[in-house]
Amino acid sequence: MPDRLILIDGNAILHRAYHALPPLTTRSGELVNAVYGFASMLLKILEELKPNYLAVAFDTGKPTFRQQEFIGYQAKRPRMDDELVGQTEKVRSLVEAFGFPIFMAEGYEADDVIGTLVKKAEKFPKLEVVIVTGDRDLMQLVGERVKLYMPRKGISEGEIVDEKGVIEKMGIPPKKIVDYKSLVGDSSDNYPGVSGIGPKTAVRILQIFTSLEELYENLEKVKEIREIGGEKTYEKLREGKESAFVSKRLATILDNVPLDLNLEDCRVKGFDETKVLELLGQLGFRSLIARIKGEVSAKEKKEKKDDLQQSLF
């Protein structure tokens, strides 16, 4: 069985928890629902996925190369709520208390950081990578040894998505996700794709052509293919060519961010229980404290049993 590296998309999980959970405040009135959701998800991942290694990636909050190349990129996104900004630092403190490394890179998004870590993990032939995210953009990274763990029903449940799962959900394999985004665009990131090309037509196009490049190399053939709209689709694609390739650049997750992956730094080992419980206590997360104490107690019982068996034999 291969070792498993978990990469958590910190911003995606934090945002999901913030919007999925009802307001939860400390005694002093600070909102901490996103911190609670993130902590709960982290414990769930450790319990269910049993990783050998774990790391968390975050955005820096500063402009990236995408904003520099395309002025409108993410321009329509609302500014992060102040109450969520305040919780971000608490989540980072929590991750550090557990002893897991945090990866960030100025000028890049967390997606690019994750893409680079996935690339660097390829040199370990017996290592499986599982990316924890609610962001479908990261489906483009799925491969033979790379899967997604995507939360469902807020953050209470999750599912593993492999190559077959991407095809079932999207109608195309992971390697075509970027081409799909190039055609349909992304309203949340505010890049246009090709005007008039919707998800169904984009999927049909990519079931016929292997990539955006092959599509445009054979654009005249589109006129004759009625199932994707023939002449009308041809005109839309012809007029939207520049936009399609700009969108592809923006949609592509990079794998060359200047950072290093030291697996030993990511190893899941015993954490500083006192430090973690103290932090959770300050936040008022009594249920999580009980959960951790229960797990530590169960682990201690198992270790005592193992020690006894070793002394007997």
Q: Domain residues of the chain, as ranges?
A: 3-169+254-271, 174-251
**C-alpha separations of 205 from 161, 190, 198 in Å:** 23, 22, 11
- Report yes or no: 123 and 263 within 8 Å, Cβ to Cβ: no
Write out residues in the chain with pLDDT < 50, as ranges: 300-313
Whole-number pLDDT of residue 78: 55
Q: Does domain 3-169+254-271 have CATH number 3.40.50.620?
A: no
Q: What is the pLDDT of residues 133-147, one digit of tens each?
A: 999 999 999 999 999
- Please state, in angstroms and rounded to a whole number, the distance separating the CA atoms of residues 5 and 2: 10
Element (H, E) at 243: helix 241-251
CATH C-level class of 174-251: mainly alpha
Specify the pLDDT at position 80: 61
Separation between Cα atoms, residue 59 and residue 57, nearest integer Å:
7
Backbone angles phi, psi at 243, to 5 degrees: -60, -40
Q: What is the pTM of this model?
A: 0.90
